[in-house]
Amino acid sequence: MRRALIGAGGAVAGAVAVLAGHVLAGHVLAPGAGPNLPSAVGGAGPSSGPNETDRPLIDGTATGPRVETDYGPVQVRVTVSAGAIVEIEALILPTVHERSRWIDANLVPRLRQKVLTAQSADVDVMSGATFTSGGYLRSLQAALDQLA
């Protein structure tokens, strides 16, 4: 019983350490942008979204162009609320290759988080997913331009 408490205490400490590490590294976990919050498109976004660009974004939804990559087309739709990017949906992703499907399931969600944290399409492409993330960010940038 006592050892169970020690183990549980250790688990909490380990979880807090990892989450703190991510916050310090600026990865994710910004309010409203966390992966744990199911995104409600058009719903209430964060009350004051940090917008790191000079021009404030107009609230609304915009669909970026279909961008062709070597592995297939990519197209995203972005939603802006209270001047902040609150949601990015991938409308089209490459699915022909197994590796692409794996990227779609594993790396694209992380890319979305990076964009939500940075509040901009100006984030690094993901290593291991150069083509998909490059296309994703280009389509996104074009969509954001429509709302600028």
Partner 1 sequence: MSGTARPNRIVAAARRPPRRRPRGVDGLVALAGVCLGAVVAQWWVTKPSLGGGAATVALAAGQLAGLLGAYLAMLGLLLAARVPVLESTLGLDRLLRLHAKLGPWTLCTMVIHALTVTLAYAALAETGALAQFWSIVTTYEWVPLAAVGLSLMLVAGVASWWRIRRRLRYESWWALHLSMYGGIALAVPHQIANGAIFVGYPVVQWLWLGLYALVLGALVAFRFGLPIVRTVRYRPRVADVVTEAPGVVSVIIEGAFHRLPLAGGQFAHWRFLARGLWWQAHPYSISGVLDGGRLRVTVRAVGDHSRALNRLRPGTRVLMEGPYGAFTASARQPGRPVALIAAGVGITPIRALLEDLPPDAAPAVLYRAHDHDDLIFQDELGPAVSGRGGTLHCLVGDRGEQPITASRLASLVPDIAGRTVYVCGPPGFAAVVLGAAKDLGIPRHRIHVEAFRLHPADASPVRREEVSACDGR
Q: Which of 82, 92, 107, 123 binds partner 1 (CB under 8 A)?
A: 107
Phi then psi for residue 61, to 5 deg, are -120, 140
Residues ≥6 apart with Cβ < 8 Å to 39: 86, 87
* Contact criterion met (CB below 8 Å) for 90 and 74: yes
Alpha carbons 3 and 8: distance in angstroms, whole number? 8
Q: Is 28 in the site for partner 1 (CB under 8 A)?
A: yes
Q: Is 76 in the site for partner 1 (CB under 8 A)?
A: no
Q: Is 8 in the site for partner 1 (CB under 8 A)?
A: yes
Determine the interface stretch with partner 1 among 3-11, 46-54, 55-63, 66-74 (rule: CB under 8 A): 3-11
Determine the interface stretch with partner 1 among 66-74, 76-84, 109-117, 134-142 (rule: CB under 8 A): 109-117
Alpha carbons 112 and 125: distance in angstroms, whole number? 11
Q: Which of 22, 26, 44, 145 binds partner 1 (CB under 8 A)?
A: 22
Residue listed under structure tokens 């709302």: 147
Q: Is 128 in the site for partner 1 (CB under 8 A)?
A: yes
Q: Is 14 in the site for partner 1 (CB under 8 A)?
A: yes
Alpha carbons 13 and 20: distance in angstroms, whole number? 10
Among candidates 119, 114, 116, 121, which has minimal Cα distance to 138? Answer: 121
Q: Which of 33, 67, 126, 142 binds partner 1 (CB under 8 A)?
A: 126
* Greatest C-alpha distance within the chain: 60
Q: How many chain residues interact with partner 1 (CB under 8 A)?
A: 38
User: Which residues sit at the interface with partner 1, rule CB under 8 A?
Assistant: 3, 6-19, 22, 27-29, 35-36, 38-39, 95, 98-99, 101-102, 104-107, 109-110, 112, 126-128
